[in-house]
A and B are shown apart, each in its own frame.
Chain A
Amino acid sequence: DAGVTQSPTHLIKTRGQQVTLRCSPKSGHDTVSWYQQALGQGPQFIFQYYEEEERQRGNFPDRFSGHQFPNYSSELNVNALLLGDSALYLCASSGPGNTEAFFGQGTRLTVV
């Protein structure tokens, strides 16, 4: 059973560009959450998707948007990249009625 998988693992982008990160949840999981982890800090909640809709959102600007597909996989899009967007982006999935979240290995985004 594959766990949570994310792609790509590493990415370098230029300021002002747009980026799309992808996540496939663990088998049987229907909820996907995205987190941003800056160096030396704990993960910060970006948003959560359930039944193809954004269910909850953290304190992130509208430049951060997402999508969930019918197969429960998800994308995170960031527009107009800033240097401060450089971070590890983590995807976590959870199953019906279960609070335990399983994390993917993350996508390390560097904005130059």
Chain B
Amino acid sequence: RKEVEQDPGPFNVPEGATVAFNCTYSNSASQSFFWYRQDCRKEPKLLMSVYSSGNEDGRFTAQLNRASQYISLLIRDSKLSDSATYLCVAYNAGNMLTFGGGTRLMVKP
């Protein structure tokens, strides 16, 4: 079993739709969590950190449930430019990032 698991998708949604991605992690000692965005053939870029209290950045909302070891990302009012792969990431003691396999989002006109 992978330490961080995501549905690979693809999620095909129309512009303006709301889409949610989920992620589970198996290492209960993981300290911090992030969502990264990766465009085709580009490097991953930090989208947002994830906190138990939930955090929102414009159209993006991230949530962490430590009891269920579950992380979510909600994107409202999807734009064409949101099309990318979204990577769920756990930061562990030992200073390493463990990535999920990524969820591919395609937003269509």
Contacts and interface: CB of A to CB of B under 8 A. Distances in A.
Given A48-B95, A55-B95, A99-B32, A42 B43 contact: no
A31 B43 contact: no
Contact of A105 (B43, B87, B94, B99): B43
Contacts, number: 55
Given A103-B45, A106-B43, A45 B101 contact: no
Interface in B1-29: 4, 6, 8
Interface in A53-106: 55-56, 58, 90, 92, 94, 99-106
B57 to A, nearest CB: 14
Interface of A: 31, 33, 35, 40-45, 48, 50, 55-56, 58, 90, 92, 94, 99-106, 108
